[in-house]
Structure 1
Amino acid sequence: MENTLTNDFNENQPTVGDKTALVTIIGRPSAGKSTFLNTASGEMVSIVSAIPQTTRNAIRGIVNTSLGQLVFVDTPGYHESSKKMNLKMRAIVADQLENADSILYVIDSTRPCGDEEKLITLLLKGHEEKTVAAINKTDEAGSNPRSARDFLSKELPGLSEKNIFEISAKNDEGIDDVLRALYALAPVAPHLYPEEFYTDQEVDFRIAEVIREQAINRLDQEIPHCVYVQIADMEMRSPTKMWCRAFLCVEKESQKGIVIGKGAQMIKTIRVESIKQLRKIFDYKIDLDLQVKVDKNWRQNDLRLNKLLK
């Protein structure tokens, strides 16, 4: 499926050398990084939830326009934590920064820029010349972009004012301005992916993420953080139909009943809504066999974390 931005962006830009850049997106949990990526690429690349720490992996989304190709890497929310899983996700963020041609720093303008935000600016020290800042959620009540600008001026004085933008990723406001700034920083280079690509995610990963999104948006309290999805089997049974068996895995036996729900209503809803979303992504139907099982204390299992978090 081809990426689309606004027609105005593509039609009114001067032709320049073909540019390509690997852009790492960084920000606190729930800053709107995944929403930005989905809006910019015009596709559901990264799952979105009000639950913090929804993104667990480095997710790639690809934007192709007349100016070239931007390959965005959506990273887990960066924050202070001593938990093993969160430390692993922080390491993913740090690794992606080193490989980036440029960096998109997304700030939630509805929350004060405190100690967690300072952790991010410490990571960005020395990278200011290749950083673009997007002050997000300016459409929401309580937004204070002036405070975010003051914070950036103090903590990242090397960040150019012309590379700071106020946006609403949810409402697609200011996105094109951010993209233009990133293209200005991008080197002239061959594209990394064919133009019809908007992500490089494997089919099993995409299915697992859609299921996890539908689950965490329906489960309360700590359950969303205790869930991961295991794809056990996939089989194309015709050119237009795939069969897939997947497991929603939880840490404790007591959580299993919550995910299944009374009369199996919760797991049924998650399955049905997942199938609806998958039909929007793939050009074939997916018949989903979804079950729940316990993987005791999986968030403390190094082998499991190394397999799940990349």
Structure 2
Amino acid sequence: MNIEENQELKTAVVAIIGRPSAGKSTFLNTACQEMVSIVSPIPQTTRNAIKGIVNTSLGQLIFIDTPGYHDSEKKLNLRLRSVTESQLEDIDAVLYVIDSTRETGEEENHTAALLEKLQDKVVIAINKTDLAQARPEKIRSFIKNALPEVPDNRIFEMSAEKDIGINEVLKGLYDISPVAAPIYDEETYTDQDLTFRVQEVIRGEAINRLEQEIPHAVYVTVADVERRNEGKKLWIRAFLCVERDSQKGIVIGKGASKIKEIRAAALKKLNQIYIQKVELDLQVKVDKNWRQKDNTLTRLIPE
């Protein structure tokens, strides 16, 4: 993106909102050109408000990738909804990502309703328009009814996975962003600390290798981080936690094959992220019925 030299830079905090699997995390990773947020075909992969930072010649956009907004009264889902709703406070703009291959329905209605009073701050990205089953015209009709104050020049079609239309979406967000100095330096693409990033990398590799309900029953905790060899090596001990003993056996796999596979994939990704050589000790343990424990949910998903 090229601009005139005398044009003032803009900076904005942008909440990304949408239903589970709409493509929010894929958009964030593509825009940042780094793995910031877990991408998975498993719905509701994102559990925290994940921050990714995009720097261009127009300025800086600080994205907050929120959990998919999902109708459910389960404790975990209620916590995720609370995280999403809280991120709509004190933001400069909202990017509403809609999957053009799915029918809208009640869940999309509820998601759009969250933005009813924020329409002057909303940019809409109609995602997955590269797919044969995409119906962007139906989504535009839905938007016209649900969010009539969002003008056509703030509604874009894109494929986050194929990196189609991303620049146009970013330009739309800059157009409504305030003039302000950048908050982060231009080399920064996330503010996640080491422990959180390690946990998310391991969880991402685990959930994409586990079946059915188990991905939602998994969380990761980092027990120890040691800097060795004068800081040239990172030694990490982490635990993949599940809810039941029967799940532990599935995650470990026959002859420890599954946990070895998860560890190898996570280790490869961590060594791509960090300059230091990473060594990972990964084990599995049971935290019985953790999704029903308020203290565990508060620790993993702070509001």
Indicate whether 1:52 and 2:43 are aligned: yes
Structure 1 residues 158-212: Cα deviation after superposition (integer angstroms, max 9, x where no partner): 1111000000000100000000010111111122211111000000100010000
**Contact kept in structure 2, 1:129 and 1:160, CA below 8 Å:** no
Distance 1:130 1:64 in 2: 20
Distance 1:309 1:61 in 2: 18
State which of 158, 162, 170 in structure 2 corresponds to 1:167.
Answer: 158
**Contact kept in structure 2, 1:20 and 1:69, CA below 8 Å:** yes
Distance 1:188 1:235 in 2: 42
Distance 1:214 1:93 in 2: 24
- Determine helix, strand or coil for the equivalent of 1:303: helix
Q: Which moved more, 1:190-199 or 1:46-55?
A: 190-199
Structure 1 residues 235-273: Cα deviation after superposition (integer angstroms, max 9, x where no partner): 111222100000000000110000000000000000001
Indicate whether 1:65 and 2:56 are aligned: yes
Task: Give the gaps of 5 or more residues in structure 1.
Answer: 1-8
Distance 1:81 1:268 in 2: 34
- Determine helix, strand or coil for the equivalent of 1:23: strand
Partner of 1:84: 75
Partner of 2:4: 14
Aligned residues: 300
Distance 1:216 1:230 in 2: 15
Give RMSD over aligned pairs: 0.8
Matches within 5 A, 1:48-197: 48-197=39-188
Indicate whether 1:261 and 2:257 are aligned: no
Cα drift, residue 141 of structure 1: 2.4
State which of 294, 302, 309 in structure 1 corresponds to 2:294.
Answer: 302
Cα drift, residue 14 of structure 1: 2.9
Distance 1:280 1:185 in 2: 35
Cα drift, residue 306 of structure 1: 0.6
TM-score (normalised: structure 2): 0.98
- Determine helix, strand or coil for the equivalent of 2:68: coil
Distance 1:38 1:137 in 2: 15
Distance 1:286 1:295 in 2: 26
Partner of 1:251: 243
Instruction: Report percent identity of matched pairs.
Output: 60
- Determine helix, strand or coil for the equivalent of 2:4: coil
Cα drift, residue 139 of structure 1: 1.0
Partner of 2:204: 213
TM-score (normalised: structure 1): 0.96
Task: Give the gaps of 5 or more residues in structure 2.
Answer: none
Distance 2:183 2:28 in 1: 17
Moved over 2 A (4+): 12-15
Q: Which moved more, 1:185-194 or 1:285-294?
A: 185-194
